[in-house]
């Protein structure tokens, strides 16, 4: 079995040394897979993703136990900028765009710091426009004046300009219309299937995420309670019940689905 591209091993994380957000979370992202990190509000999805990119210290948070390894590099010992150079690229929650720059200028910021020739950058820009044709139509518009969906596409496009090997996305569906969400996930899957891009995506929208993911891990109160193949999880109505708080005990789910094992299948 190929080594995972990203390995999260028994990670505990806390803010301000006292607010514990993650309790021993483990999961693997295999090369070429889409892995969904699911859970309701406040269950620790963003904290996990920030731990992956070593962004917790910027929020007075830290990984207090366990470790995260990206392609052989301990992410806790690697700066966010170096992780970016190694190909670990994150799109933060809330589609952060530079509102006063145009869509195209936003995209180009993704190539900053890359030692690339102009022709390479032009090629990458054309590729982003081929993936999200709406962005080409809006290339001269100030990002702050574009729609929510266009801003999310701009944020993803900018990440693609950094040539990621692992694209990490925090709730790309947030606040967007269902059709726009599908469009974005379709394009992510296309990138995954055609270019082998590995993706770790945190989502509250489990229905959509499980439709496009290969595997998934479910967080509840900072604990990885479930994990496994997305197709199996998709067929389980009780998972939806779990999300909607209908009282399905998470322990019962853990018993049934083979999962959230730290290095399952590795
Ligand atoms: P959401 O979808 O709302 O972003 P989430 O699943 O991503 O939820 P996190 O944002 O990781 O969850 O939050 C996990 C826990 O950590 C929550 O209890 C939250 O209040 C707490 N938390 C998150 N960020 C901070 C912070 N900067 N300082 C203190 N506590 C925080």
> What does pTM read for this prediction?
0.90
146 and 69 in contact (C-beta within 8 Å)?
no
Q: Can you give the residue range of the structural domain that contains 125?
A: 88-163
Please work out, in degrees rounded to the nearest 5, the angle formed at the alpha carbon of residue 141 by the alpha carbons of 138 and 145. Answer: 110
254 and 219 in contact (C-beta within 8 Å)?
no
Please indicate, yes or no, if residue 183 is contained in any of the structural domains: no
CATH number at residue 260: 3.40.50.300
Cα-only R_g, the chain: 18
Pocket (CB within 6 angstroms of ligand 1): 15, 19, 21, 39, 41-47, 59, 93, 204
pLDDT for 116: 76
Residues 203 and 74 occupy one common structural domain: yes
Residues 73 and 202 occupy one common structural domain: yes
Select from 122, 125, 124, 185 the least CA-distant residue to 152. Answer: 185
121-138 pLDDT, tens digit per residue, is: 999 999 999 999 999 999
pLDDT for 240: 66
Question: Cα(62) to centroid of ligand 1, in Å?
Answer: 13
Please indicate, yes or no, if residue 225 is contained in any of the structural domains: yes
Please indicate, yes or no, if residue 177 is contained in any of the structural domains: no
13 and 56 in contact (C-beta within 8 Å)?
yes
Residues 27 and 146 occupy one common structural domain: no
Q: What total number of domains does the chain contain?
A: 2
Alpha carbon of 74 to those of 7, 54, 55, 68, 87: distances in Å? 10, 10, 14, 6, 14
Residues 26 and 156 occupy one common structural domain: no
35 and 49 in contact (C-beta within 8 Å)?
no
218 and 242 in contact (C-beta within 8 Å)?
yes
pLDDT for 180: 94
Regions of the chain where pLDDT drops below 70: 1, 237, 239-266
Please indicate, yes or no, if residue 179 is contained in any of the structural domains: no
The Cα 198–Cα 188 span in angstroms is 10
Mutate to test the pocket of ligand 1, among 16, 18, 46, 173 (most ligand atoms within 8 A of CB): 46
pLDDT for 172: 94
Question: Cα(222) to centroid of ligand 1, in Å?
Answer: 9
Select from 19, 80, 77, 72 the least CA-distant residue to 49. Answer: 80
Please indicate, yes or no, if residue 184 is contained in any of the structural domains: no
Helices (H), 37-109: 45-52, 80-86, 103-109
Please report which helix (H) or strand (E) contains residue 216, including its range. Answer: strand 215-220
Structure tokens at 45: 């999805």
pLDDT for 265: 37
Residue at a domain's end among 103, 138, 163: 163
Residues 62 and 98 occupy one common structural domain: no
Question: Cα(44) to centroid of ligand 1, in Å?
Answer: 6
Residues 233 and 265 occupy one common structural domain: yes
Residues 107 and 150 occupy one common structural domain: yes
Residues 5 and 75 occupy one common structural domain: yes
Please indicate, yes or no, if residue 128 is contained in any of the structural domains: yes
Residues 30 and 1 occupy one common structural domain: yes
For 102, what's the count of Cα atoms within 13 Å in the CB-facing half-sphere?
10
Residues 27 and 51 occupy one common structural domain: yes
The Cα 258–Cα 251 span in angstroms is 12
Please indicate, yes or no, if residue 144 is contained in any of the structural domains: yes
Please indicate, yes or no, if residue 265 is contained in any of the structural domains: yes
Residues 4 and 72 occupy one common structural domain: yes
Question: Cα(47) to centroid of ligand 1, in Å?
Answer: 6
pLDDT for 115: 75
Residues 48 and 96 occupy one common structural domain: no
């Amino acid at each position: 079995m190929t080594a995972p591209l990203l390995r999260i091993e028994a990670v505990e994380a806390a803010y301000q040394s006292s607010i514990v957000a993650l309790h021993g979370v483990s999961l693997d992202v295999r090369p070429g897979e889409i892995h969904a990190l699911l859970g309701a509000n406040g269950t620790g999805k963003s904290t996990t993703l920030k731990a992956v990119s070593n962004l917790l210290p910027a929020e007075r948070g830290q990984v207090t136990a366990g470790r995260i390894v990206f392609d052989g590099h301990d992410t806790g010992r690697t700066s966010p900028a170096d992780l970016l150079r190694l190909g670990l690229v994150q799109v933060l929650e809330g589609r952060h765009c530079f509102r006063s720059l145009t869509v195209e200028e936003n995209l180009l910021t993704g190539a900053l710091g890359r030692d690339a020739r102009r022709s390479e950058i032009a090629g990458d820009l054309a590729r982003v426009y081929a993936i999200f044709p709406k962005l080409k139509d809006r290339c001269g518009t100030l990002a702050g004046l574009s729609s929510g969906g266009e801003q999310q596409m701009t944020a993803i496009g900018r990440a693609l300009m950094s040539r990621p090997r692992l694209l990490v996305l925090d709730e790309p569906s947030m606040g967007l219309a269902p059709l726009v969400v599908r469009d974005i996930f379709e394009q992510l899957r296309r990138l995954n299937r055609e270019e082998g891009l590995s993706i770790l995506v945190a989502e509250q929208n489990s229905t959509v995420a499980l439709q496009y993911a290969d595997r998934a891990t479910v967080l509840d109160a900072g604990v990885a309670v479930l994990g496994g193949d997305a197709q199996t999880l998709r067929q389980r109505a009780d998972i939806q019940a779990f999300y909607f708080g209908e009282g399905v005990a998470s322990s019962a789910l853990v018993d049934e689905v083979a999962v959230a094992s730290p290095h399952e299948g590795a």
